[in-house]
A and B are shown apart, each in its own frame.
Chain A
């Protein structure tokens, strides 16, 4: 086992952390697929409103590769297809039947898996609708199945405060997880399995599988950070990664022959009524998660997928395909009188500019920007936290000056989109967004050529 020490990063000490308890939720009335939240995929619908679907029926495919299909997370009837601006498909809502029908997929035992060709295995995963669980670095697109990746990274933890912990989602599923790893081994020769150095559960139960322990602050155990610290040559840049929880889904598909829809999600944040892990399913409505445990949610922002990288939802929206957390924190859209002059004992900050550096207890944080956009003063705070040693203060200027080559040299594509640069910036510049958009533009340009 190799220990990776990351030198930079930052852990926010935020109130409202979830407990490790797991509660199983009842069946929701509706579930949904959110094609809009899956990056780069161009959906082509295969269903209409009022069509009946089973769990695992194809709902849409990717226009770029019709083999890449996305399956229904529920059995019932399509009740709504919601379009956004420019006909982007936002939501496909399925009303669940009392007894859901299931599409059947081939059951593959361990023995059969051993003898399976890679090509056939890939096809099984693709028709089983789970191929999108793999993502390809550095752009985080769904990978091309014909390519053998240099390595597949399985990250079991996330140091982001509100992601499910292995103790909750892996408990009594260790065997299933081991089976999932067998599948991954068929896809790539190198498997990097990483966990946090302080995760006792993983080290107790999966010690023989873990190849790397990550020691450091958020986002030390992001697959991109692991790759940055382990790669020796540029060939490894296009490694794939998959979340620990998603390995279980792969194993379930093979074991049961049904499209797996189980998800362990986290409900947290200072405004969440109860903060814990919840056993539920893909695409559940957010109000199903918060129901009867919501505290004062009138002013809460529903953040799906984590306080840094997540998207803003509402009571009426749904969990996405990849997201596993729901955080409720105050919107914070209130003015603060003479805010800059206050001692700030309770103001969360990485700097020592407020008295909060004396305050070791966790503080409630809201979505206020705490200031206005100003010019970059080259303070370098962003470079101090960047886990992959990019110099965001210089790189973003390269991007704005259209010096994309220079930005690429700076390691733009190593960016793990952790959002820390945006978080710490005292000039409130949307650094990550600028970097991310530049990466995206470069990727799309490459796809066309």
Chain B
């Protein structure tokens, strides 16, 4: 401890005013406060303060991301080795997964952090810990075959246009990680749409073909046809409900396993960082939007939209809904701040997700667009709720 402190103390002179790297003080500060909670004390108000700070809060979000991350690493490796006809022992799979996922995460953190440092240095702000979460959330939403230059492009767009041009953490109205993903989604649809996903194939014999594509459960469901077959169609493709819940199928790195996301969600709700109102509201929204179509399809066999017939529970476990509602929708900055608004916001995300999936053949996955769309509405929701709430107050002017 002492010697780390000594390192910082000896290097400090370069970063403070009129030092060589004066401009990069935020970088120095970020590293120093990572190692040491600073000694600053309260000045006048509230002589005592809660021990919780943003660093702790954000690192707990990272902790909650560990289950989907580890599972994502395993799953990526597993799918790759399976497709490449390599052994699927745990160690082999995990190492393979690391080889696939780690570069994506490193690029995401590295490029994003460089932008953060640049903006913080120019603005003379401190580097906000919010980026630690963005930088990990973003890669988990990507398919394992994503080229690294696209990762760099995506996180750059997310950090700059999703956050920094509005003034940095706390002032963004869109979720930066999702903004980056949406950019890639529309700019490079072949790699990203969710129609098909790629599994990294590393079979030396089959040179030339390094990826293998398969339909996602969502794509299977979206096939036009008579509704009666949809369940069997899914089952035929191997996507049973338990399998979708566990998540051992090809998909984006972190988003396939509902179980892992559920663990993360419970943890975040328990420590009070993620709003249970948003998460429960989202689940209710999915069910409410999916049940009527399901009932109709039970009655009439000839539905024009096959996906309407999908069992509502399937909607909960398919695609990135679980990941999105747990980690993306609950971002407090871009979500509404008022309690009723949070219910509406969560509900609308869930309902919109189903609507986009079912009725819009261009977008097999709806959660990303639903969250970004509701991000835009959250200030409005807050505005109305505050307005109604203030009416109840006895004025004091």
Min C-beta distance of A300 to chain B, whole Å? 12
- Bound together, the chains give a CA A377 to CA B169 distance in angstroms of 7
- Bound together, the chains give a CA A420 to CA B46 distance in angstroms of 8
With CB as the reference atom, state the residue of chain A lying closest to B2.
Answer: A337
- A341 and B50 contact, CB distance less than 8 A: no
Q: Which residues of B contact A377 (CB under 8 A)?
A: 54, 130, 169-170, 332-333
For the A-B complex, the count of residue pairs with Cβ-Cβ distances under 8 Å equals 209
- B53 and A370 contact, CB distance less than 8 A: yes
- B395 and A310 contact, CB distance less than 8 A: no
Give chain B's interface residue range (CB within 8 Å of chain A): 35 or more
At the interface, is chain B mostly helix, strand, loop or mixed? loop
CB contact list, A172-220 vs B, under 8 A: none
With CB as the reference atom, state the residue of chain B lying closest to A231.
Answer: B394
Any A CB within 8 A of the CB of B208? no
By CB atoms of chain A within 10 A, which of B40, B128, B386, B389 has the most?
B40
Also in contact, A426 and B52, with CB within 8 A (given A233-B394, A413-B396, A433-B45): yes
- A370 and B46 contact, CB distance less than 8 A: no
- A370 and B49 contact, CB distance less than 8 A: yes
Q: Which of B60, B168, B338, B393 contacts A353 (CB 8 A)?
A: B60
Min C-beta distance of B40 to chain A, whole Å? 5
Give chain A's interface residue range (CB within 8 Å of chain B): 35 or more
- B170 and A337 contact, CB distance less than 8 A: no
By CB atoms of chain B within 10 A, which of A340, A369, A375, A422 has the most?
A340
With CB as the reference atom, state the residue of chain A lying closest to B8.
Answer: A335
Any A CB within 8 A of the CB of B362? no
- B50 and A308 contact, CB distance less than 8 A: no
Q: Which of B1, B4, B52, B271 contacts A370 (CB 8 A)?
A: B52
With CB as the reference atom, state the residue of chain B lying closest to A413.
Answer: B396
Min C-beta distance of B184 to chain A, whole Å? 25
Cβ proximity bits A291-320 to B, threshold 8 Å, 1 near / 0 not: 000000000010100011011100000000
With CB as the reference atom, state the residue of chain B lying closest to A412.
Answer: B396
Q: Which residues of B contact A372 (CB under 8 A)?
A: 33, 38, 40, 53, 126
- Bound together, the chains give a CA A367 to CA B60 distance in angstroms of 24
Any A CB within 8 A of the CB of B48? yes
Any B CB within 8 A of the CB of A262? no
Min C-beta distance of B390 to chain A, whole Å? 5
- Bound together, the chains give a CA A424 to CA B57 distance in angstroms of 12
- B51 and A374 contact, CB distance less than 8 A: no
Q: Which of B4, B37, B54, B332 contacts A380 (CB 8 A)?
A: B332
Any A CB within 8 A of the CB of B22? no
CB contact list, B29-46 vs A, under 8 A: 33-42, 44-46
Given contacts A370-B51, A372-B33, 4 further A-B pairs with CB under 8 A are A333-B41, A337-B35, A369-B53, A394-B337
